[in-house]
Structure 1
Amino acid sequence: MRISTITMYEQSLNSLNRQQGEFLKIGQQISSGRRVVNPSDDPQAASLAVGVDQAKAVDQQYANARVSARNSLSQQESVLNSSSDFIVRARTLLVQAGNGTLSDADRDAIGQELNGIYQGLVGQANSMDGNGRYLFGGYRDGTPPFVQDADGRVSYVGDTGVKAQQVDSARLMPSVDHGQAIFRSSEDADLFAALKDAIDVLATPVDGEAGRDNLRSVLASSSKALDNSFDNVLSVRASVGARLNELDVLDVVGDNRMLNYEQILSERLDLDYNKAISDYTLRQVGLQAAQKAFVDVQKLSLFNLM
């Protein structure tokens, strides 16, 4: 009889613990809004959730990379727009400078304005990003990529590395072009060399027919170089615009993918509140019954004599 009483007590206690555990579990589900609170609730669903969460984290990294790439490309686009305006003005001035009726003083004044454009373009070419790094220096972004020598001539001292961002699983996008590709600064008749040649010749008084021939020759070659540079800047600008458009498309794709992930998680993990509330009420009744049964077992006389 003593063993029977102990057995009844243990059974009653186990039932109480089980009912209480189930009651608390449903309470946690309701408070969290999730059917799977612990991996043991549904190992398969929990494993799926881990995989989906990892995929979401990777996609968020791509989204962050797209933000960074868009910032760099937008800044580059702004620089290219300003550079285009500078070049257009410089071309206009070179046409004016070719007027044979101008005096040396007139040409010198045009040369002074061209020098302002020249310095403005150098400043644009040495633009910095929001982190204090030079935008167009390639991977050598800690120092100005365009430098002037004692004569004021510009050379490119950056590298030709192209910074890129992994903006999606299969897309490594160039986020900024190096200065060599944009301004084509080298030892031949590039943008800066063309402008400097024009500035120098306009500052030199014209002496006789030889001087006029030299003026015309330099202005013609400088104008041609500016035309080529302008076309190149427009080409890079078009490429930047295409990349910005692509980022918009990838954002939409990424957002849709995130929504799909959320739908998968919702279908496998979210709680059916109607069923949960019904189960909660049922477990509450079961817990109360188990509590009453446990109290009744404790009142058994033979149990008290043990």
Structure 2
Amino acid sequence: MRVTNNLIYDQSSRAIGQSNEKILKTQEKISAQTDIVKPSDNPVGASQILMYGDSTDRLKMFDESIKMAKSNLEYQEVALESLNGFMDRVRTLFIQAQNDINTQEDIDAIVQEISLINESMAELMNSRSADGSYIFAGTDTLSPAFIQDTEGRYLWNGNEGQKYAQISEDMRVPVTDSGKKLFQDIWTNRTFRTELLTGDVSLTAKVQSQGDFQEYMDEYYDPEVPSVNEYQLVTSPLVDDGSEPDSTLTQSDSKEDRDRRRSFFGEPGNYSITNSQGDVVASGSYRAGKPINFNGMSFLLQGKPGASVDFALVPPRRDNVLNEINRTLDTLSNEDSTYQQREEAFLNATASLNNAQQKIGEARSSVGARLNTLQVREEFSSANQLSNAVAQDRIGGLDMAEAATNLSMKEAALDASQKVFTRISNLSLFNKM
């Protein structure tokens, strides 16, 4: 076989070109910092790297959702904490206002401070997140959660929906809470109404023990049949002729002694309480001027026995805690309000504050639990992304030291090939002639 110059040139040129391609490929791997630049380098490894990359991209997308959810919940947590602090301050001021040494000027100063706090609480109930959304308005986040009517009452203006954040393929977390549940639908102080039917007496009735009365309401109040909630209290003297034969009750030996005791302790008598069916639910003896207690309710009748009083359980009512506070402030601002009216106003406001703070406490616990869930999910996402990166590096990772060594060797081989090609291309028989 005759080796021609053209054959030698073609082979040398091809070898140099292949060396160049190897160098460029190695440089490309070093630049991309991966051993698999294109699928043909390692088809199976390339598909696995794409799979891990897609998983990481999904995790990063959920990370953005987690960040948004944490931001909303943190805004909500701050608002709830501030509201709870304001309510503690209002409660303290109401306790201070009940001091009998306060003048009306002192009361007015307390009313003014509570009014300012009430306005601050209203502003917190209409809190906005960083993007301007109302966080307590449900899903209608473009409108304020609460508005005021012409009489200054706070009304619910949102809806009861919740916004959710998708933090994984199978998990959603609520990022808002309805202000209607937290602030608007607050149980007010439960009470009852009375009407004096007969008897020359003065009647004072109030809830003496809110706990006992609430238990009784929970068990016996019937919202569907109002008549079931009606009762009658009847008092009667011990005997019709005014004598008191039972000395163990009166502890008297003569009529003069009995008269003196009656003027001091009050007229003795009996009482009975019947329900709407006529059944006696409570009975006993009492003295006029001393309270008759019945399941947390107290009836004080000043005068001789022989009176009848109708009373009924008032339907439980829900209202915004701010409205209940404002009603109490109106009572305190009225110089003509009686001690009993002010005491009742204090009780009403305190009951609403207690119930509102209970709701806020439950909401803060729920928000904290959700924030913990987001934190755990965020840590899980970071660990998964790290695991994906390790797997990708294990499959297509490039050993930079080895790649640099290979590049140097290939560059040296190319340089040698170029030198050999130069010498071979200069070979000619004419050089020997």
State whether TM-score is above 0.5.
yes
Is it true that 1:198 corresponds to 2:325 in the alignment? no
1:7-52 deviations in whole A, cap 9, x for unaligned?
5544333322112101221122234432222333222222222222
Distance of aligned partners of 1:285 and 1:99 in 2 relative to their CA distance in 1, 3 Å threshold: closer
**In the aligned structure 1, how far is the partner of 2:327 from the partner of 2:31?**
76
Question: Which residue number corresponds to residue 230 of structure 1?
Answer: 357
1:197-244 deviations in whole A, cap 9, x for unaligned?
11221122235xxx4333322321221111000111111111112222
**In the aligned structure 2, how far is the partner of 1:33 from the partner of 1:147?**
60
Contact 2:184/2:318 (CA < 8 Å) preserved in 1?
no
Question: Which residue number corresponds to residue 284 of structure 1?
Answer: 411
Distance of aligned partners of 1:277 and 1:117 in 2 relative to their CA distance in 1, 3 Å threshold: closer
1:53-85 deviations in whole A, cap 9, x for unaligned?
222121112222222222211111111111001
Contact 1:185/1:192 (CA < 8 Å) preserved in 2?
no
What are the ranges of 5 or more consecutive residues in structure 1 without an aligned counterpart?
none
Question: Which residue number corresponds to residue 74 of structure 1?
Answer: 74
**In the aligned structure 2, how far is the partner of 1:301 from the partner of 1:63?**
71
> Per the alignment, in what secondary structure is the counterpart of residue 134 of structure 2?
coil
Question: Which one-letter code corresponds to 1:168 in the other structure?
Answer: S
1:88-147 deviations in whole A, cap 9, x for unaligned?
111222223334554444433332222112111101111122222222212222222111
1:227-274 deviations in whole A, cap 9, x for unaligned?
000111111111112222222222221221111111112111221234
**In the aligned structure 2, how far is the partner of 1:274 from the partner of 1:141?**
57
Contact 1:156/1:185 (CA < 8 Å) preserved in 2?
no
Question: Which residue number corresponds to residue 129 of structure 2?
Answer: 129
- Count of residues paired in the alignment: 299
TM-score (norm 1): 0.86
Contact 2:184/2:319 (CA < 8 Å) preserved in 1?
no
Once the 2 structures are TM-superposed, how far is the Cα of residue 299 of structure 1 from its aligned partner? 4.4
Contact 2:62/2:168 (CA < 8 Å) preserved in 1?
yes
> Per the alignment, in what secondary structure is the counterpart of residue 142 of structure 1?
coil
> Per the alignment, in what secondary structure is the counterpart of residue 127 of structure 1?
coil
Contact 1:111/1:198 (CA < 8 Å) preserved in 2?
no
Once the 2 structures are TM-superposed, how far is the Cα of residue 296 of structure 1 from its aligned partner? 5.4
Contact 1:206/1:212 (CA < 8 Å) preserved in 2?
no
Q: Tell which has more relative contact order, 1 or 2 (C-alpha 8 A, sep 6+).
A: 1
Question: Which residue number corresponds to residue 213 of structure 1?
Answer: 340
Is it true that 1:254 corresponds to 2:381 in the alignment? yes
**In the aligned structure 1, how far is the partner of 2:41 from the partner of 2:424?**
32
Q: Going by fraction, where is strand more abundant, 1 or 2?
A: 2
Question: Which residue number corresponds to residue 188 of structure 1?
Answer: 318
Question: Which residue number corresponds to residue 34 of structure 1?
Answer: 34
Aligned counterparts, 1:111-150, within 5 A: 111-150=111-150
Question: Which one-letter code corresponds to 2:89 in the other structure?
Answer: R
**In the aligned structure 2, how far is the partner of 1:5 from the partner of 1:268?**
46
Question: Which residue number corresponds to residue 263 of structure 1?
Answer: 390
Q: Going by fraction, where is helix more abundant, 1 or 2?
A: 1
TM-score (norm 2): 0.63
User: Which structure has the greater CA radius of gyration?
Assistant: 2
Contact 1:126/1:146 (CA < 8 Å) preserved in 2?
yes
Question: Which residue number corresponds to residue 164 of structure 2?
Answer: 164
**In the aligned structure 1, how far is the partner of 2:404 from the partner of 2:71?**
49
**In the aligned structure 1, how far is the partner of 2:415 from the partner of 2:354?**
89
- Percent identity over the alignment is 28
Contact 1:65/1:165 (CA < 8 Å) preserved in 2?
yes
